[in-house]
Amino acid sequence: MKEKSENKLDQFWNGYCPESELSGKKVRMRLNNWDFYESEETGLQICINALGVQAVILNFRGTGQFRVSENYADDVVVSEFLSPQNIDRFPFNEPTIIFKDSEETEAYIKSVKLQKN
């Protein structure tokens, strides 16, 4: 049986890495060279949709190639809904789907693979 985290995620993104939050840590997410927010610890990436309503957790991890300027999500995030990636192009979530609860979000995050170079 798979272990579930003792920590729960809110349905709204607060600008910190959701994966790290499941471990009880606050890890900042920084804008990378592809305009995605990437966790400085885990490589998990989040794309904000054009309307600023969804924070789509991408199904592949970043490689730590951050912009020279340090732009962090927790400085600008306004509580977007956490959503899974369900298409391979922007806006990465169509039709619009949001995670129902913390357990669904956690299961999706565990499925996110490393990007192959």
Q: What pTM value is reported for the model?
A: 0.90
Confirm whether 44 is domain-assigned.
yes
- 10 in a structural domain: no
In a domain, 24, yes or no: yes
Total domains in the chain come to 1
Question: Looking at the domain assignment, is residue 45 inside a domain?
Answer: yes
Write down the pLDDT at residue 5: 61
The reply to whether 60 falls in a domain is yes
Is 51 a domain residue? yes
Q: Report the distance separating Cα 117 and Cα 115, nearest Å.
A: 6
Residue 49 lies in a domain: yes
Question: What digits encode the pLDDT tens for the residues 7-57?
Answer: 899 999 999 999 999 999 999 999 999 999 999 999 999 999 877 789 999
Range of the domain at 44: 18-87+98-111
Between CA 15 and CA 55 the distance in angstroms is: 9
In a domain, 6, yes or no: no
Distance separating alpha carbons of residues 46 and 56, to the nearest angstrom: 5
